[in-house]
Amino acid sequence: MSLSFSILLILISCNYFSNDEWDKLPNIISQIVPPSFPEKDFLITSYGAVGDGLTNCTEAFTKAIDKCNNSGGGRVVVSKGVYVSGAIHLKSNVNLYIDKNATILFSNNPDDFLPIVKTRFEGVECMNYSPFIYAYNCQNIAITGSGTLDGQAGNENWWSWKGRNEYGWESGEPNGLDDTETLYRMGEENTPLEERIFGKEHELRTNFIQPYKCTNILIDSITIKRSPMWVIHPVLCENITISNVTVDSHGPNNDGCNPESSKNVLIKNCFFDTGDDCIAIKSGRNAEGRRINIPS
């Protein structure tokens, strides 16, 4: 499915519907202010990263982000090259800036996205593989620049977990269908989060970008390719701007942008060419959504 989204999408509480809903638009937009950052740069190459497309740079990303955060914020700069990485965890006041000639090539080994983190899988809370780029309870975060995020997901990894032949799965191989049913049941039965453990030895795919319980978020001008499943998935977030983003990802459940239980979301001037929905607004699944009770 392909969609060029050149106007905008705004999310506010569903309680506000009225005949003059669109009259509120200027006031809503005025509340959505992109974060700003100190003019300080932290080059990942200064922390051991090598852009040769081979060296695992996860530790370098972690060091650069920690230093940026501890120094009051700024840009973590990914310069020209191809940088292999596992999970990248953003922290408050960090702008991950990807140069137009730079690519972050995410590992195709699921173990590189451990330890497990608190996340949502299709609207149900669980402990699962870390999203490729993850932030938890952060303020003022961004992913910008004109570079590329390549998840390397395909029929040889991640997508086959869907359990469908067209995505590389063959009869007798493990897949995530049983795990999905188990998690859905846990959501219906209100099983405690600490018992909803997945990750290693399970086949629940992770998301590409997931800020969780974050405020003041900007995702701008990047290109995203080959995601395991949902591509941009803010959860329980507020004040989000997603602009000028290109998503080119054709795997199963490769939704372009799914704001979930989030408020004040602006999506503009984006291009989505995906294997599923371009944009889908979420608020949790069934009993789980009613229990958490935070609509988008």
CATH number at residue 127: 2.160.20.10
Q: Which domain holds residue 171?
A: 2-292
What confidence score (pLDDT) does residue 13 get? 46
pLDDT at 235 over 80: yes
The closest of 15, 81, 72 to 44, measured between CA atoms, is 81
pLDDT at 4 over 90: no
**Which string of DSSP letters, residue by residue, matches 117-150?**
EEEEETTEEEEESPPSEEEES-EEEEEEES-EEE
Neighbours of 139 (CB within 10 A): 14
Sign of CA dihedral 131, 133, 138, 142: negative
Rounded to 5 degrees, φ, ψ at 161 are -65, -15
pLDDT at 17 over 90: no
pLDDT at 42 over 50: yes
Residue 243 vs residues 172, 218, 271: alpha-carbon distances, Å = 42, 8, 9
Rounded CA gap, 26 and 29, in Å?
5
100 is written with which tokens?
């137009």
pLDDT in tens, 193-219: 999 999 999 999 999 999 999 999 999
Q: Is it true that the peptide bond before 295 is cis, omega within 30 degrees of 0?
A: no
Number of domains comprising the chain: 1
- Order of strands across the sheet with 238-243? 9-10, 263-268, 238-243, 215-220, 139-145, 94-98, 74-78, 41-43
pLDDT at 163 over 60: yes
